[in-house]
Amino acid sequence: MKITSRAFGHNTLIDSKYTCEGQNINPPLSIKDIPAGTKSLALIVDDPDAPMKTWVHWTAWNIRPDTSGIAENSIPAGCVEGTTSFGSTGYGGPCPPSGTHRYFFKIFALDAALDLKPGAHTANLTAAMKGHVIDKDEFIGLYKKKN
């Protein structure tokens, strides 16, 4: 399985369009080679370089297994989104307080749909995925706040 973005490459800078200094919209994502037997996909976007804890920028689950990508500024049809570290659901772009941070875009192929309510936190998502991950992939984007 592979997750990528045409907006930036692995370990390269994320365009400010997708950050708090721009339009703060999600970048386009491509998902390929989803394994047979996948019943749903889950997505976690986080920043482990945040000062106090890993900062969660976006979570989504129960993404249909035939999903080949997520368009810019959109969510996959029928998916459920969780609460981010910003305290809201949906995508929240990079906005580091200082220095260059890494943003991990992680995709998980699951053997089941998850019974989680909208707005669940990442810990709940991670617990619900336990024992159901068939495959996973990730890529990293970088960002340093300009102002």
pLDDT in tens, 68-92: 999 999 998 889 999 999 999 999 9
Q: Report d(CA 36, CA 105) in Å as an integer.
A: 22
The DSSP code sequence of 35-91 is PTT--EEEEEEEETTSSSSPEEEEEEEEE-TT--EE-TT---TT-EE-B-TTSSBS-
Residue 145: per-residue pLDDT: 86
Instruction: Provide the token pair at 65.
Output: 């297994």
In this prediction the pTM is 0.96
Residue 146: per-residue pLDDT: 82
Domains and CATH numbers, the chain: 2-144 (3.90.280.10)
pLDDT in tens, 82-134: 999 999 999 999 999 999 999 999 999 999 999 999 999 999 999 999 999 99
Residue 2 has pLDDT above 80, yes or no: yes
Residue 109: per-residue pLDDT: 98
